[in-house]
Structure 1
Amino acid sequence: MDTEWAGRQARRHRSPGTPTPPPQPGTAEPEAPVRGRPRSEAVEQAIVEGVVMLLEEGVPLAELSIERIARTAGVGKATIYRRWSGKEELFVDVLRSIEVPDPELPGTSMRDDLVCLLEHLRKRGLSMRRSVLLHNVFAQMKTLPRLWDAYHEIVIDPRRRTMHDVLRRGVADGELPPDTDIELANDLLTGPMLLRSIMRSDMPLADDLAERIVDLALAGLRAGDPR
């Protein structure tokens, strides 16, 4: 103890610029500081992957407990609760992780942006058809109202607002009539793609489907415009 205290006092009173002496035999070198963020991201990824693993094993969403998720991910329950308030919030992040990332809009015209947004929905539909996991999760999610509401608030609603913003810019730029019903226009554009992706899985999702839907919908929205 006296030796450790003397060493601390010597370091405290060492004048600036004095080199630090090498460690003596039998003494431990000071550990380098550990940054917390990379470890935090790794832990979060392990938790998300733990949920996906359980879902792939066929465990229903309703039967996934925080305790079981923590055990699968190799963490404590407190570690999960420090990052998510509960299962619903965690499940939303899991759904985000297995979805196609949102696209970056080209911004060249309203039509190009709409095609980009619908192409994103088309690819999402293809992912759902290829992924039994994603399809089953969405089917189960409708039986959990809080999760369904949270998913709409965090994932669906921001995408709808993006579509509305694109349509409003189209009105402002004269690409759509000034009295265009933005909400109805959104439904006219996204409805056919969602119908084929979810309700009519027997229908093809052709490569040019987004362009065809956009051009047909815009022709209808512009019909009768006196300009």
Structure 2
Amino acid sequence: MSPADPGPRQEAPTRGRPRSEAVERAIIESVMKLLEDGVPLAELSIERIARTAGVGKATIYRRWTGKEDLFVDVMRAAEPPDPELPGTSMRDDLVVLLEALRLRGLAGRTSAILHNVHAQMKSSPNLWAAYHRTVILPRRRLGLEVLRRGQDNGELRTDVDLELLNDIVVGPILVRTVMRPDADLPDDLAERIVDTLLEGLRPGDRAVPPPAAI
């Protein structure tokens, strides 16, 4: 090698402590175990979680700002993952979004963790606000974006109120999972809801007014 040749470039060292997925998973699983053992959320201190996971409190605080942020990740880990949208059409994307919501509803019926935490979240304004901000709102924005694309590409009438329609799309599954927890959630429910709604919302579709009374 000549003096002019500096040789292979050396990679600069990475700054900071890398996040360990194994450590994070151990912490989340420790919270799940405590919840499965019946420990209320209010009694789950960072110190108790750290002791169960076999880590120091500083290890937890390096990854989460507090209990609320940690519990949100625990909820995400217990729920089915967010879906990847096919992007083939508004109809197909809506079916995928609703199917994910249906699966979360089924998981809420069968998972003791989800059932208990959802019930306890209502009494913890900070936890509910964190879950709403980081989980529910992004999912809602995604649904609105799918509907906007549908309007832009001509799949949906341009006079439709998208905020209202978004509520109408998710409403039937929320009713069955929240207000009617014993109601059926069949495999084809997402497709039936979307196809029923879109039947009257495509461009050119208008409700026919009733005949005037004579």
The TM tier, using the shorter chain, reads 0.7 to 0.9
Q: How does 1:1-227 map to 2 (within 5 A)?
A: 37=18, 40-222=20-202, 223-224=205-206
1:221 shift after superposition = 3.2
Unpaired segments ≥5 residues, structure 1? 1-35
CA distance in 1, matches of 2:80, 2:127: 19
1:78 shift after superposition = 1.1
Instruction: Provide, for residues 45-89 of structure 1, a one-character-per-residue CA deviation record: whole Å limited to 9, x for no partner.
Output: 111111101000000111110111011001111111111111001
Tell me if the contact between 2:200 and 2:207 (Cα under 8 Å) persists in the aligned partners.
no
1:37 shift after superposition = 4.0
Tell me if the contact between 1:185 and 1:221 (Cα under 8 Å) persists in the aligned partners.
no
CA distance in 1, matches of 2:190, 2:88: 17
Query: What SS does structure 2 have at the residue aligned with 1:168?
Result: helix
Q: Which runs of 4+ in 1 moved over 6 A?
A: none
Unpaired segments ≥5 residues, structure 2? 1-16, 209-214
CA distance in 1, matches of 2:132, 2:199: 30
Query: What SS does structure 2 have at the residue aligned with 1:221?
Result: coil
**Structure with max Cα Rg:** 1
Instruction: Provide, for residues 92-142 of structure 1, a one-character-per-residue CA deviation record: whole Å limited to 9, x for no partner.
Output: 111111111011111111101100100111111111111122111101011
1:43 shift after superposition = 1.2
Q: Percent identity?
A: 68
CA distance in 2, matches of 1:220, 1:87: 46
Question: What is the root-mean-square deviation in Å for CA atoms of aligned residues?
Answer: 1.7
Instruction: Provide, for residues 172-210 of structure 1, a one-character-per-residue CA deviation record: whole Å limited to 9, x for no partner.
Output: 111111111111010110011111122211110011100
